[in-house]
Structure 1
Amino acid sequence: MKAFALKGSLFSLLILLSSFLLKKDKITLYIIGDSTAANKEAKFYPETGWGMKLQNFFNNDVLIDNRALNGRSTKSFLTENRWQPIVDQLKAGDYVFIEFGHNDEKINKPGTGTTLEEFKINLIKYVNETRSKKANPILLTPVMRRSFINGVFQDSHVGYPAVTRRVADSLNVPLIDMHKKTERLILSLGEEKAKSLFNYVDSGHVNYPKGKKDDTHFSPYGAQTMAELVVEGIKEQKLGLIKKLKTK
């Protein structure tokens, strides 16, 4: 009877150990950034962040932990203590996708806006602290807004994407240039068809009774398309995550 109980205990221990090892081997991909990537509450549907669509591209070895939030900049994400809890639980082999710029440019908004120099310093902090945990930082430039004036496409992000590129180059960090990718996409679609990417809603919608015309945040289709561009960048940069992508 004792021998049977001992075997049972050993079997249970092996199950727990196997479960622990499987969990330990799982890669967590954190997303930090702003509303363009963030998870959305049901009351904002159909507004959708591209981070909400990324899990669908990966097998069960990768867990997407989307910490991006509306209105955040490299500065406010730090001062609100959104970053340190991620650092505390980062493990070797994890990834941190870093996409800011939409709100850093709001220099007249205290607590949010950053100068280009502050933006650079903050990005370097995210990169170095990610690497200190033997995890993998990936920099993403901000996605473009659908901004046309008299039929001419406008870039609202001034120098922030260029700073992201320079930090990526100087620190040898993989870069997914969403700024350039989304510019090409919007221009290829044209001013009118590009609305399909964004949160344009007719009046009478339960969440938007008066309708909505939003050239910053994405429709479900737009979020899916942005996630596809992120995956395209993962492949271009030959990240180890390629091996974890689902095969069709």
Structure 2
Amino acid sequence: MLSVSHLFSLLGLASIAISAPHEKRAQTIYLAGDSTMAESGGGSGTQGWGHYLQYSLSLPVSNKAIAGRSARSYTVENRFQTLIDTVKTNDIVIIEFGHNDGGSLSSSDNGRTDCPGAGSETCTSTYNGQTVTVLTYPAYLVNAGKALVAKGAKVIISSPTPNNPWESGTFSYSASRFTTYSKSAAQQIGSSAMFVDHGQYTANIFKTMGKATVDTFFPNDHTHTSPAGADAVSRAFVKAVLCASGGVLDGFVKNSTASVEGSCV
């Protein structure tokens, strides 16, 4: 027969068990990129497009983009590793770099430039007085993407947004090599990844809007957008996703395809 004190002890344990919180959270979308995606964009009067994505999606968005980063520096600073350690099954990570990944390693290494090439090539460089091995742009994306997928996440590899395509006075846009590299990386990551040609869809919307409007989107330089410009760039991303029937974001996009300007390509 249980003593009174033993009975109260058991009841106390049951109460603790019942009241113990269970971790419950919705799938989360994480953003990894540079200033064109990041909060506050690239300086005074600018905003990154990632800020506005939350308004088109039914899942929470956590913007981990950081100004000035490339696929290489985001890797070296262990920012991808932090995402890998954070994601849960069915979380979605959108990765978009390219603006800071170009340049040359031959003269001076800025810590951002990738090794030229489309595959497993490596370069030896000197950065901050240390000899370092530098990978290619797609290699950094594939390594991060496969590690995220191994944790149960899904990945979107997005091509970089264009600089102001109207700055010469007439419209001009040509996809950079980073678009080709991004598409290749998504294919290499596998079925849990998709490619979004954000650059092309943004260029298409900018072309439709015209020079006068688009010029106002770039208050400081030809790369970083005003809040209104960032909103347009965000809509271009959503349009690209909708035109791909949602892909890994299927069911989470609030907009209809017809409600976002531009046409599918």
TM-score category of the 2 structures, normalised to the smaller one: 0.7 to 0.9
Matches within 5 A, 1:63-212: 63-107=60-104, 109-114=109-114, 115-117=116-118, 118-147=136-165, 148-149=167-168, 151-155=170-174, 158-170=176-188, 171-172=190-191, 173-196=193-216, 198-200=217-219
User: Which stretch of the first structure deviates more once superposed, 220-229 or 84-93?
Assistant: 220-229
TM-score, structure 2 length as denominator? 0.74
In 2, Cα distance between equivalents of 1:152 and 1:220: 22
For structure 2, the residue ranges without an aligned partner over 5 or more in a row are: 119-135, 257-265
In 1, Cα distance between equivalents of 2:163 and 2:52: 19
SS of residue matched to 1:103: coil
Which residue does the alignment assign to 1:204?
none
In 2, Cα distance between equivalents of 1:247 and 1:150: 33
Paired residues of 1:116 and 1:160 also in contact (CA < 8 A): no
In 2, Cα distance between equivalents of 1:22 and 1:231: 27
Which residue does the alignment assign to 1:22?
24
Q: Structure 1 residues 223 and 81, CA, compared in 2 at 3 Å: closer, same or farther?
A: same
The alpha-carbon deviation at position 243 of structure 1 amounts to 2.6
SS of residue matched to 2:218: strand
Q: Which structure: greater helix fraction? A: 1
Letter in 2 for 1:52: H
In 2, Cα distance between equivalents of 1:46 and 1:58: 25
Paired residues of 1:48 and 1:217 also in contact (CA < 8 A): yes
Aligned residues: 227
Which residue does the alignment assign to 1:52?
51
Paired residues of 1:53 and 1:227 also in contact (CA < 8 A): yes
Which residue does the alignment assign to 1:210?
none
SS of residue matched to 1:215: coil
Paired residues of 2:37 and 2:48 also in contact (CA < 8 A): yes
1:239 aligns with 2:247: yes
Q: Report the structure number with the largest CA radius of gyration.
A: 2
Q: Structure 1 residues 14 and 195, CA, compared in 2 at 3 Å: closer, same or farther?
A: farther
**Out of 222, 225, 235, which is 1:228 matched to?**
235
In 2, Cα distance between equivalents of 1:240 and 1:7: 46
SS of residue matched to 1:32: strand
Letter in 2 for 1:72: R
The alpha-carbon deviation at position 84 of structure 1 amounts to 0.9
TM-score, structure 1 length as denominator? 0.79
Which residue does the alignment assign to 1:206?
none
The alpha-carbon deviation at position 7 of structure 1 amounts to 7.5
For structure 1, the residue ranges without an aligned partner over 5 or more in a row are: 201-212
SS of residue matched to 2:28: strand
> Percent identical across equivalent pairs?
25
